[in-house]
């Protein structure tokens, strides 16, 4: 999802798409973009090392947007990447490399983050991008093509957990009339991710529309105080969805991966 300084920009993009529906819908979205009573949060810097330095090394790279960087999540170890790192630190010396930047779209990930992630030579990559493409009106075909290229380049080095896009119609900051549009867009992007990931033995996609995620529609504690990003409790759900897929990829015994002591 977008970084705090991108929230208004994303909502304005939804508003432009909504102009075809009607002026009232566009006006409601613009109103949601300007909420001076709500706080803004910066990306967390999450890189670090965890666990026993004598244990087998595991290098994890997180690539994408502010879904990863955790604006508004406190403490920092409650963020999703740190939760994952601490989990695997029970048996590994974990190098956590985070190239994610709030507000990123697929084109940004492809041009700037993928080269940095490849340079790190990770054992597993967690990729979470598409929320900003959904909210800012990126054509689905173009997004899908870029996502496929991202997977091509990342899987040349390491297996990938491809994180799906959940129901953006549950975002509390969105006005009610905008939620239907956000739901349709996020669903379309999630399906594009599924198509791009299909048939790749070194990619595992999360299920982002199952029962696990329904509390986002009903439990306000899953949202940060900006009513746009996930809270620490929301990040706990992200980690729970991701850890089994990382474990599955590691157990595949990919040459050069799976906790190698590089």
pLDDT tens digits, 62-92: 999 999 999 999 999 999 999 999 999 999 9
Enclosing domain of residue 78: 4-251
Other C-beta atoms within 10 Å of 121: how many?
Answer: 16
Number of domains in the chain: 1
> Cβ-count burial of 201 within 10 angstroms (0-12 exposed, 13-18 middle, 19+ buried)?
exposed
Q: Would residue 133 count as lying in a domain?
A: yes
For the segment 49-67, the average pLDDT, to the nearest whole number, is 97
Q: Would residue 223 count as lying in a domain?
A: yes
pTM of the prediction? Answer: 0.87
Q: Would residue 21 count as lying in a domain?
A: yes
Q: Would residue 260 count as lying in a domain?
A: no
Q: Would residue 190 count as lying in a domain?
A: yes
Token pair 């300084």 is found at 5
For residue 11, what pLDDT band results from cuts at 50, 70 and 90?
low
- d(CA 185, CA 193) in angstroms, rounded, equals 13
pLDDT of residue 27: 52
For the segment 172-180, the average pLDDT, to the nearest whole number, is 85
Q: Is the pLDDT of residue 24 over 60?
A: no
117 close to 101: Cβ distance less than 8 angstroms: no
Which H or E element spans position 12?
helix 4-18
pLDDT of residue 257: 40
pLDDT of residue 253: 61
pLDDT of residue 174: 86
Q: What share of the chain in percent tops pLDDT 70?
A: 83
For the segment 127-138, the average pLDDT, to the nearest whole number, is 92
For residue 10, what pLDDT band results from cuts at 50, 70 and 90?
low
Q: Is the pLDDT of residue 15 over 80?
A: no
Q: Would residue 9 count as lying in a domain?
A: yes
Q: What is the mean pLDDT of the chain?
A: 88
pLDDT of residue 8: 60
Q: Would residue 154 count as lying in a domain?
A: yes
CATH code (residue 39): 3.40.50.1110
pLDDT tens digits, 199-236: 999 999 999 999 999 999 999 999 999 999 999 999 99
For residue 53, what pLDDT band results from cuts at 50, 70 and 90?
very high
Q: What share of the chain in percent tops pLDDT 90?
A: 74
For the segment 252-260, the average pLDDT, to the nearest whole number, is 49
For the segment 130-157, the average pLDDT, to the nearest whole number, is 95
Q: Would residue 107 count as lying in a domain?
A: yes
Hey, what are 98's tokens?
């985070």
For the segment 155-174, the average pLDDT, to the nearest whole number, is 96
For the segment 32-59, the average pLDDT, to the nearest whole number, is 89
Q: Which among 147, 141, 249 is positioned nearest to 193, based on CA atoms? A: 147
Q: Is the pLDDT of residue 254 over 70?
A: no
């Amino acid at each position: 999802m977008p970084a705090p300084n991108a929230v208004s920009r994303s909502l304005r993009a939804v508003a432009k798409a909504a102009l075809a529906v009607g002026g009232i819908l566009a006006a409601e979205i613009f109103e949601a973009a300007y909420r001076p009573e709500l706080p803004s949060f910066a990306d967390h810097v999450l890189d670090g090392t965890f666990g026993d330095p004598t244990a087998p090394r595991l290098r994890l790279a997180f690539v994408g947007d502010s879904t990863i960087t955790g604006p508004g999540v406190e403490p920092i170890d409650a963020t999703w990447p740190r939760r994952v790192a601490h989990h695997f630190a029970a048996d590994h010396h974990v190098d956590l490399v985070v190239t994610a930047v709030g507000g990123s779209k697929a084109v940004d990930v492809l041009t700037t983050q993928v080269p940095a992630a490849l340079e790190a030579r990770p054992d597993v990559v967690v990729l979470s991008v598409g929320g900003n493409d959904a909210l800012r009106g990126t054509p689905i075909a173009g997004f899908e093509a870029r996502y496929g290229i991202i997977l091509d380049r990342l899987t040349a080095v390491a297996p990938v957990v491809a994180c799906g896009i959940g129901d953006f119609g549950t975002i509390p900051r969105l006005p009610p009339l905008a939620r239907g549009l956000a739901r349709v867009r996020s669903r379309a992007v999630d399906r594009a991710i599924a198509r791009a990931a299909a048939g790749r033995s070194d990619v595992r996609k999360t299920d982002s529309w199952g029962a696990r995620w329904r509390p986002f529609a009903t439990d306000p504690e899953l949202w940060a105080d900006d009513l746009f990003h996930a809270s620490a409790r929301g990040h706990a759900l992200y980690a729970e969805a991701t850890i089994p897929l990382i474990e599955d990829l590691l157990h595949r015994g990919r040459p050069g991966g799976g906790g190698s002591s590089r």
